[in-house]
Amino acid sequence: MIFIPLLGMIAVLLLPRESDELIKRVTLFFTLVPLAVAVALFISYDRSTAGTQYVVNVPWIQAFNIQYHIGIDGLSVTLLLLTALLGPICVIASWRNIEKGIKAYMALFLLLETGMLGFFVALDLFLFYVFFELTLLPMYFLIGIWGGPRREYAAIKFFLYTLFGSVLMLVAMIAVYLNSGALGARTSTEGNALNNLNFQIWVFLGFFIGFAVKVPIFPFHTWLPDAHVEAPTAISVILAGILLKMGTYGLVRINMSMFPQGLDFFCNGLALLGFINIVYGSFCALAQTDFKKLVAYSSIGHMGFVILGLSARNDSGITGAILQMFNHGVISAMLFLLVGVLYDRAHHREINGFGGLGTKMPVYTGITTLAFMASLGLPGLSGFVGEALSLLGAYDKFKMLTILSTIGIVIGAAYFLWTLQRVFLGTLNPKYEEIPEINGREILTLVPLGILTIVLGVWPNFAIDMFRESVTNLIDVLQAI
């Protein structure tokens, strides 16, 4: 599953440069195969155990005890499904939007997918780092070549921020290696030098900053709005849907599982950062007039709920945080696709430049309303359940912070409803008298995400059952300190 997109990249590179349609079809095929595998894994995964399944463990760099060690648990299988689902959706979304260098674009996209899939299944710390870094280079070029007017600035800013975090992660990883004698990812720190509190604090901090840049957590967030605004639509979908989740997944997989004493030391600070993300991100979103930048800042606010839930270290908080990771990936992907639909027609994203589009684009308006309502946390849609569980768990440990964090929900409702009013209601702007309705290809990219949004709102156990045992196991590790 991991290397099928890599094979696709090689196949695309061997095709003639002028065969645009063939390149797109081959790319789509090599993203549909991992989706089929991910669905099969999701169906066949044994939900009754917290153990790792479908494990592959073969020697790689034996001199340093580095293994090619991969496998899935309940957390990784849900994010694998999300990654594999967004792959073909992004290829279809790029079908008419990317006009130059299609061969290079599709090849880089397939390389990016290999990095993302590998990251979520890696069980060796060195392998984990390799896949983490593998996503950096293709994303840099995808933004820097196919992005908007300030694409070079946004790409360099993304690269430097992520590289800064990666260097600290590498230093922390070397420290783990030198103090444990092995480079394999662990779920327990018993019986080795990793038990030392001071060591855990420093190493936790190194990994945390690396992942905090990806989430992004305040104050490492400033690359995100620039990258989103300049990136092509499909790359914005991957940024919000998957790359942000790589940060929170890393916090769960490395920081919480390997360094529980470090987490215990920093949990109050982590909760405070989650609160800042929620409130600051929401107020920034409220101030935006660029549709895409508004969605970008809303992502910063929503990821704050994930951080707040994780910092609670209890069943409700962690379950809500992991569910919110998946839900936000689905909802934010919808939102960026919807912004792209409007940009393709109007060639701008200025919210105040529209008005009355609901009469001309009723189907588009309906789908956008669904995505807005899910993102602002309307009960019955997926955004509500994750936020509610995160807040429920956090209230047990951080009552005042949790109460104050609900400001973010109110502000979220304000900026989404205000945007809905300015873009779709009121008098139709004469410039858009002939604006075309959303087409079949665009609807095809949105329907699977819309269905998931409704299903997870009504039946959240669809996802929760997958990682319930993994959460229980993680809580046992945290309570053992």
349-403 pLDDT, tens digit each:
888 888 888 888 899 999 999 999 999 888 889 889 889 999 999 998 888 999 9
Answer positive or negative: Cα dihedral of 21, 24, 30, 33: negative
Q: How many residues does the chain have?
A: 481
For residues 454 and 391, give the distance between their C-alpha atoms in angstroms, rounded to a whole number: 21
Residue 137 parent element (H or E): helix 136-146
Mean pLDDT calculated for residue range 308-331? 91
Is the confidence at residue 480, as pLDDT, over 80?
Answer: no
Dihedrals phi, psi of 190, to nearest 5 degrees: -70, 140
Is the confidence at residue 337, as pLDDT, over 90?
Answer: yes
For residues 217 and 311, give the distance between their C-alpha atoms in angstroms, rounded to a whole number: 13
Nearest to 408 by CA among 312, 267, 298, 270: 298
Tell me, what's the pLDDT at 344? 87
Residue 451 maps to a domain: yes
Tell me, what's the pLDDT at 20? 84
Residue 410 maps to a domain: yes
CB-CB contact of 241 with 80 (8 Å): no
Residue 173 maps to a domain: no
Nearest to 260 by CA among 168, 174, 175, 195: 195
Q: Picking from 280-284, 370-374, 474-478, which range would have the lowest pLDDT averaged per residue?
A: 474-478
Q: How many domains does one find in the chain? A: 1
Hey, how many other C-beta atoms are within 10 angstroms of the C-beta on 288? 20
Q: Picking from 69-73, 193-197, 271-275, which range would have the lowest pLDDT averaged per residue?
A: 193-197
Residue 214 token pair: 């990806």
Tell me, what's the pLDDT at 428? 82
The residues, any chain, with a CB within 8 Å of residue 242's CB and separated by 6 or more, are: 79, 82, 83, 86, 116, 329
Tell me, what's the pLDDT at 462? 86
Residue 422 CA to its chain's centroid (Å): 28
Mean pLDDT calculated for residue range 455-480? 86
Residue 7 maps to a domain: no
Distances (CA, A) of 346 to 241, 342, 409, 416, 427: 25, 6, 30, 20, 17
Residues 40-73: tens digit of each pLDDT = 999 998 888 878 889 898 988 888 888 899 999 8
Mean pLDDT calculated for residue range 246-270? 89
Residue 307 maps to a domain: yes
Residue 450 maps to a domain: yes
Residue 363 token pair: 């189907």
For residues 302 and 43, give the distance between their C-alpha atoms in angstroms, rounded to a whole number: 28
Tell me, what's the pLDDT at 4? 94
Is the confidence at residue 446, as pLDDT, over 90?
Answer: yes
Is the confidence at residue 285, as pLDDT, over 50?
Answer: yes
Q: Picking from 130-134, 235-239, 435-439, which range would have the lowest pLDDT averaged per residue?
A: 435-439
Banded pLDDT at 192 (limits 50, 70, 90) = low
Residue 73 token pair: 């648990």
Dihedrals phi, psi of 344, to nearest 5 degrees: -60, -30
- How many Cα atoms sit within 13 Å of 257 on the Cβ side? 18
Tell me, what's the pLDDT at 188? 39
Question: Tokens 């959706």 appear where?
Answer: 89
pLDDT > 90 fraction of the chain, expressed in percent and rounded: 40
The residues, any chain, with a CB within 8 Å of residue 359's CB and separated by 6 or more, are: 428
Mean pLDDT calculated for residue range 80-108? 90
Phi-psi region of 70 (alpha: psi -120 to 50; beta: other; left: phi over 0): beta
Strand-pair partners of 68: 58
Is the confidence at residue 464, as pLDDT, over 80?
Answer: yes
Q: Picking from 192-206, 216-230, 385-399, which range would have the lowest pLDDT averaged per residue?
A: 192-206
Count Cβ atoms within 10 A of the Cβ of residue 24 and give its class: 0-12 exposed, 13-18 middle, 19 or more buried: buried
CB-CB contact of 350 with 423 (8 Å): no
Q: What is the DSSP letter of 62?
A: G
CB-CB contact of 116 with 122 (8 Å): no
Tell me, what's the pLDDT at 322? 92
Residue 422 maps to a domain: yes
Distances (CA, A) of 227 to 149, 282, 297: 12, 18, 12
Residue 310 maps to a domain: yes
Range of the domain at 416: 263-481
Mean pLDDT calculated for residue range 222-248? 88
Q: Picking from 74-78, 158-162, 369-373, 476-480, which range would have the lowest pLDDT averaged per residue?
A: 476-480
Side chain identity at residue 212, one-letter code: A
Banded pLDDT at 189 (limits 50, 70, 90) = very low
Is the confidence at residue 88, as pLDDT, over 90?
Answer: yes
Torsion, Cα 299 447 342 217, to 10 degrees, reads 10
Banded pLDDT at 190 (limits 50, 70, 90) = very low
Q: Of residues 366 and 147, which shows the higher confidence score? A: 366
One DSSP character per residue, 32-86 reads HHHHHHHHHHHHH--TT--S-EEEEEEEEEGGGTEEEEEEE-HHHHHHHHHHHHH
